[in-house]
Structure 1
């Protein structure tokens, strides 16, 4: 039985606050237009029930063979105008963290009045930079096994890997893509071996909605480098969490997060020539990606993943 089962919080993260979608559309200024390519994955179809769909039991939702998906992606890029690109994105959400547990332990009113501001409730430590629970680890292991099965069936191996700087996303990536993850976890080993060929890049704006919730404050860069020495950071990546401080008093709005992720996607299409990309982040971040590319709303369970082929058109608005 899958451990990647959405709950009511996940549904709200994906479907709620629709006024923020409209605010995003009113405020975005961009030379890129994004849209999903339909007919290749069940998750893009309106008739797919996002609350009951289990991608690890359904070959990631493919509607045609992986061989044909790879062929279609190549043909789309080969035949595209100069200002159009296509990429296959695997958008992964981190496994359950202690912040997820505490947020459901209390009522919404209690969480917003008190517990989001602190990182320990007497039972769980959940901030700053909340860690994975045992269930979160097992959810990542389910993805590890699922990826191994799908790769055997011909699923394209991602050529670029991007990560949120929050350690729950980094650890989910480690286990999902680590060598012998299950064996090392069973032996209670702290280190997961990551192939240097993966070259995972930490992107500061890939994080969850910023501000106030202490669990969303990241660790220092030096701490992340010490724990995860294989990670790649840009030269301008700051030591301290400046974004959290920026939104310390007034939390980032969802439409602002959508605009932030729009810029991330622009940069990926502008600077990354690879056509198959893995991105490990958060529920709000994936909601933002799906909003930016005009994909249907789709609930992503804690630890879940959604694949989508994205068409990006660069337009001249001068």
Structure 2
């Protein structure tokens, strides 16, 4: 099957490659952050160190051309002979590793096309960054009004992309692909809607529906996390809705909030935009929480944004890889938990 709806744009490629100097800035910042100790516990605030495990997926192979890679045609990029082989390898790694080590497979999914993505395609990247990203929307030459801020919805294409992902997941599950046991989402509507569309009827359903109709019961909850939101600030599409509105849109599908989730968006600023290195520190915080708080979940899904996936890639020292709207990149991660007395190279 050739993917017709999910494909790279020039802006996707630009997003994945811009500001390469931020990699070195992040490494300097995380080196300092990893040495900070909580005086109450005597433990590092960020005790986990992360490594990408090559050989599982084609996306981590430098020879894979991301500009022409179709993750649906390529079984999500699986490099092994079968999903059963992957499951067995991860089982062996976790059975034979040290007690302070853990291996997880993280499926990093990007939301489908939102109205802000459509605006970039129509208006151009330079004009978007300079002007359009800072306002709520516009009326096109054909008279159609599009609104992208704050917190835009998916376009019809974005909704259809999520449905295409749903079909792709069902096919891979039938071929033995492991179903995640833990789901996380950005608080933005475009990510939550994509997650619902992708997993609807597999492990996600509306309140009151018969759980016996799910392909892979039980019904899963989804934890909404601020650390998975898009790059913070300046672009109005990256200002989230209130907690009340988010709850109205997503709670009926099993979405719950992480502890301490604020009622209003206290992070967004009109006159400041988060750097890639700062965003990558936030991605590291998500990974810290994932490995510290969910030790038994080996197969995990997080649905977020191009900038957030780029930040995760930076935090993991994964090779750069462009992700289209509704694209997914699976990454096998080794986490090692260290204590302050451990000598860090």
TM-score range, shorter-chain basis? over 0.9
- 1:37 is aligned, of 49, 53, 59, to 53
- 2:119 is aligned, of 102, 107, 119, to 102
- 1:288 is aligned, of 311, 317, 328, to 311
TM-score normalised per structure 2: 0.85
Supply the distance in 1 between the matched residues of 2:283 and 2:272 (Cα, whole angstroms): 19
Structure 2 unpaired stretches of 5+: 35-46, 140-144, 207-213
Residue 63 of structure 2 aligns with which residue?
47
- Asked whether the 8 Å contact 2:48–2:291 carries over to 1, the reply is no
Residue 19 of structure 2 aligns with which residue?
17
Structure 1 range deviating more: 207-216 or 4-13:
4-13
**SS of match in other structure, 1:69:** helix
Residue 188 of structure 1 aligns with which residue?
none
Cα distance per residue 1:162-196 (max 9 Å; x no partner): 00000000000010001299xx9xxxxxxxx9977
Residue 44 of structure 2 aligns with which residue?
none
Supply the distance in 1 between the matched residues of 2:127 and 2:55 (Cα, whole angstroms): 43
Cα distance per residue 1:211-242 (max 9 Å; x no partner): 01110111111111112122111341111001
- Asked whether the 8 Å contact 2:11–2:125 carries over to 1, the reply is no
**SS of match in other structure, 2:147:** coil
Residue 146 of structure 1 aligns with which residue?
168
5 Å-filtered alignment, 1:26-105, equals: 26-28=28-30, 29-30=33-34, 31-64=47-80, 65-105=82-122
Supply the distance in 1 between the matched residues of 2:164 and 2:51 (Cα, whole angstroms): 29
Supply the distance in 2 between the matched residues of 1:131 and 1:309 (Cα, whole angstroms): 31
5 Å-filtered alignment, 1:1-318, equals: 1-2=2-3, 3-28=5-30, 29-30=33-34, 31-64=47-80, 65-122=82-139, 123-179=145-201, 197-229=219-251, 230-244=254-268, 247-273=269-295, 274-318=297-341
Offset of 1:108 from its aligned partner? Answer: 3.5
**SS of match in other structure, 2:68:** coil
**SS of match in other structure, 1:277:** strand
**SS of match in other structure, 1:211:** coil
Supply the distance in 1 between the matched residues of 2:202 and 2:157 (Cα, whole angstroms): 18
Larger radius of gyration: 2
**SS of match in other structure, 2:237:** helix
Supply the distance in 2 between the matched residues of 1:4 and 1:50 (Cα, whole angstroms): 13
Supply the distance in 1 between the matched residues of 2:51 and 2:112 (Cα, whole angstroms): 27
TM-score normalised per structure 1: 0.92
Offset of 1:36 from its aligned partner? Answer: 0.9
CA RMSD of aligned residues (A): 1.9
